[in-house]
């Protein structure tokens, strides 16, 4: 599954947008819409991700369309890059496959007052120090450990709970989506096994596509927005990509097990067992939501502690306190999450559950949920690419509210499976190839770098071009990597 080509219909439907009409499969409640340009469309047809877009259109209570972003690729249940909004008033469901295994996997961007020339002479030492301090790799634990009681407090309050422990500042919280805390988290719904897995993993990077990168702002496209974010050309930044680690994975696993017979119980017919779901207002739906929110808050704490350790590494190598280096958080966005939001659907204001799986919230200027310091420019949208090319910062545009429930893409999107990438890397030194491109890379294993080699991904510049052209988010700055640590 996943690898056959998609042979169904993809009709042009506006600027950089393609439709899978709901007539494609009996049972689709809405059309599927995929954002892409001609160049990306060929790659998108290469697996069954568009089929997953059609399957999501079967979900009860789904509104407007089953959507997918240009970084779309095959995932569990939903494609990665999938977006769906369901209305609980119309029997709308919540589906763990629409959030993903890594609950609130996301990205944060930290700026500094350092120029590339300040850091270049120290980059190898800096990468070594980051790698030494920050645990990477599957199942790795770190120096912060919490007992069950502390874990539950941390999951109820998010990173605000870390302020009293001297591991976060109020400024960090203000620059985090939802202030790092989803209301309604129910830590008691998180299983003992999940707690066990999460006990020493807060402040660890994990494996797969997670990374911590030292980057340089390469190009500015919107001076006013860049100024509001205190970004300037030549500036050194740190980008952190990680999620809820073993705890979130276990919460998803537990939920999928608990939901196995639930669709039948409520008379819900699905084309794919992986789309297991429950009505939002059912006891089963509420249970998953309580645990999912708790895991999301854990993920925000994880990225907060990763940032804290990165600040300490910079202090150690450069001999200057991070406050003096102005290593301040620009913003932190969630990429795998379901949130209850107000949107206009067919001319009516509704409260809907927006599932974003491998997709970034992209609220426009003036939106009440955009923090005050960014309300004039729109919410920062942070889009990491691969470790050899570039990453991007954009700002949300009003087009996102009209077309995609306030959403843009979340990354470059894979073109090679991990297995294919490893096969392609045989006999190569990916670390050496990256060094030739000016990137110092450290990873726990050769395989980790092989799976994540630049060739495994679409070109992020093309993906970003699509959301920019479609009016979902507007380009602000492009960053290129100079140092990276991986699992």
Q: Measure the CA–CA gap between 183 and 296, rounded to whole angstroms.
A: 11
In this structure, what are the phi and psi dihedrals at residue 139, rounded to the nearest 5 degrees? Answer: 70, 5
pLDDT for 75-90, tens place per residue?
999 999 999 999 999 9
Residue identified by tokens 């001297």 is: 166
**Please, which pLDDT band fits residue 487 given cuts at 50, 70 and 90?**
confident
**Please, which pLDDT band fits residue 463 given cuts at 50, 70 and 90?**
very high
Q: Measure the CA–CA gap between 32 and 28, rounded to whole angstroms.
A: 9
User: Which DSSP helix (H) or strand (E) runs through 361?
Assistant: strand 359-361
Mean pLDDT on 37-41: 93
Q: Measure the CA–CA gap between 82 and 466, rounded to whole angstroms.
A: 15
pLDDT for 150-209, tens place per residue?
999 999 999 999 999 999 999 999 999 999 999 999 999 999 999 999 999 999 999 999
pLDDT at residue 3 tops 80:
no
pLDDT for 404-442, tens place per residue?
999 999 999 999 999 999 999 999 999 999 999 999 999
pTM above 0.95, yes or no: yes
Per-residue burial over 265-292, b = 16 or more CB atoms within 10 Å of its CB, e = otherwise? eeebebbbebbbbbbbebebbbbbbbbb
> What's the mean pLDDT when you consider all of the chain?
97
In this prediction, residue 174 carries a pLDDT of 98
**Please, which pLDDT band fits residue 2 given cuts at 50, 70 and 90?**
low
Q: In 3D, which of 15, 392, 367 has the Cα closest to residue 239?
A: 392
In this prediction, residue 4 carries a pLDDT of 87
23's CB contacts (< 8 A; 6+ apart) are: none
Mean pLDDT on 448-468: 96
Q: Which range (3-7, 67-71, 183-187, 453-457) has the least confidence?
A: 3-7
pLDDT for 473-485, tens place per residue?
999 999 999 999 9
| Torsion region of 321: left, alpha or beta (phi above 0 gives left; psi -120 to 50 gives alpha) | beta
pLDDT for 299-352, tens place per residue?
999 999 999 999 999 999 999 999 999 999 999 999 999 999 999 999 999 999
In this prediction, residue 31 carries a pLDDT of 98
**Please, which pLDDT band fits residue 402 given cuts at 50, 70 and 90?**
very high
> Residue 372 is encoded by which pair of tokens?
């005050």
The β-bridge relationship of strands 65-73 and 31-35 is parallel
pLDDT for 198-241, tens place per residue?
999 999 999 999 999 999 999 999 999 999 999 999 999 999 99
List, by residue number, the catalytic residues: 410
Domains of the chain: 11-486 (3.90.1860.10)
Mean pLDDT on 278-284: 98
The β-bridge relationship of strands 359-361 and 440-443 is unpaired
pLDDT at residue 1 tops 70:
no
């Amino acid at each position: 599954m996943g690898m056959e080509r998609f042979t169904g219909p993809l009709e042009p439907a506006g600027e950089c947008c393609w439709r899978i009409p709901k007539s494609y499969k009996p049972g689709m409640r809405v059309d599927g819409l995929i954002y892409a340009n001609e160049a990306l469309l060929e790659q998108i047809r290469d697996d069954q991700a568009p089929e997953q877009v059609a399957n999501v259109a079967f979900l009860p209570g789904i509104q407007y369309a089953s959507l997918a972003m240009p970084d779309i690729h095959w995932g569990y249940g939903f494609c990665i890059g999938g977006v769906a909004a369901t209305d609980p008033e119309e029997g709308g469901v919540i589906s763990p496959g629409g959030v993903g295994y890594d609950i609130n996997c996301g990205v944060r961007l930290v700026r500094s007052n350092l120029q590339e020339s300040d850091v270049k002479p120290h980059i190898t030492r800096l990468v070594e120090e980051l790698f030494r301090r920050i645990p990477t790799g599957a199942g790795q634990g770190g120096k912060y450990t919490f007992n069950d009681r502390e874990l539950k407090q941390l999951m109820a309050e998010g990173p605000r709970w870390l302020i009293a422990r001297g591991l976060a500042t109020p400024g960090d919280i203000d620059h985090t989506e939802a202030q790092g805390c989803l209301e309604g988290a129910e830590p008691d719904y998180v299983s003992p096994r999940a707690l066990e897995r999460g006990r020493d993993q807060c402040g660890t990077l994990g494996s797969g596509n997670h990374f911590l990168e030292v980057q340089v702002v390469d190009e500015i496209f919107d001076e006013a927005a860049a100024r509001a974010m205190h970004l300037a050309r030549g500036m050194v930044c740190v980008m952190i990509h990680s999620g809820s680690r073993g705890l979130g994975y276990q919460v998803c696993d537990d939920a999928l097990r608990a939901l196995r017979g639930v669709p039948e119980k409520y008379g819900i017919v699905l084309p794919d067992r992986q789309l297991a779901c429950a009505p939002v207002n059912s006891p089963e739906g509420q249970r998953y939501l309580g645990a999912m929110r708790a895991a999301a808050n854990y993920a925000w704490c994880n990225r907060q502690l990763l940032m804290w350790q990165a600040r300490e590494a910079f202090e150690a190598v450069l001999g200057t306190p991070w406050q003096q280096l102005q290593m301040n958080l620009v913003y932190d966005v969630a990429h795998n999450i379901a949130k209850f939001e107000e949107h206009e659907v067919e001319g009516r204001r509704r409260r809907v559950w927006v599932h974003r799986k491998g997709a970034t919230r992209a609220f426009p200027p003036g939106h009440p949920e955009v923090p005050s310091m960014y309300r004039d420019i729109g919410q920062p949208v942070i889009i990491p690419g691969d470790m050899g090319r570039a990453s991007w910062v954009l700002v949300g545009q009003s087009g996102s509210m009209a077309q995609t429930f306030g959403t843009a893409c979340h990354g470059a999107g894979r073109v090679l499976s991990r297995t294919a990438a490893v096969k392609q890397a045989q006999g190569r030194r990916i670390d050496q190839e990256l060094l030739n491109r000016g990137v110092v890379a450290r990873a726990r294993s050769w395989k980790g770098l092989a799976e994540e080699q630049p060739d495994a991904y679409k070109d992020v510049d093309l993906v970003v071009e699509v959301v920019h052209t479609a009016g979902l988010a507007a380009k602000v700055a492009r960053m290129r990597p100079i140092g990276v640590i991986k699992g």
